[in-house]
């Protein structure tokens, strides 16, 4: 990274998987900028992110992005308590988000 100049870089975004704290720290040292992580799939676009203006918490993929209502649920579909593992779920009723994939051909 030290051989590159980042003078015109204003905002940094990544997606795919959570980055480890060392990546955040090294990037901040080299560029002076935070990395804003996001999560989504081809079928959903970005559903949650550390958006500009939010305090960055490494390992967290941020908060739900409008219009999504995102919850972490257990195998029965019940919302799990804060800090517990589960499955990412998007509410599709009563109104399906317009940017959510509909079906395969």
Q: Do residues 71 and 63 make contact, with C-beta atoms less than 8 angstroms apart?
A: no
- 50-87 pLDDT, tens digit each: 988 888 887 788 899 988 899 999 999 999 999 899 99
pLDDT given at position 96: 84
Give the predicted TM-score (pTM) of the model.
Answer: 0.75
Q: 12 CB contacts (<8 Å, ≥6 apart)?
A: 27, 31, 33, 34, 35, 36
Domain ranges in the chain are: 12-90
pLDDT given at position 63: 92
- 14-43 pLDDT, tens digit each: 987 788 889 999 999 999 999 999 998 888
């Amino acid at each position: 990274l030290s051989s590159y100049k980042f003078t015109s870089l204003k905002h940094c975004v990544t997606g795919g998987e959570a980055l480890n704290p060392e990546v955040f720290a090294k990037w901040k040292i080299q560029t002076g900028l935070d990395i804003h992580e996001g999560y989504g799939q081809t079928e959903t676009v970005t559903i949650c992110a550390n958006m500009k203006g939010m305090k960055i918490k490494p390992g967290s993929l941020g908060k739900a992005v409008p219009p999504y209502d995102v919850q972490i649920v257990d195998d029965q579909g019940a919302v799990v308590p804060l800090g517990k593992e589960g499955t990412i779920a998007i509410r599709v009723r009563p109104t399906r988000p317009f940017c959510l994939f509909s079906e395969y051909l």
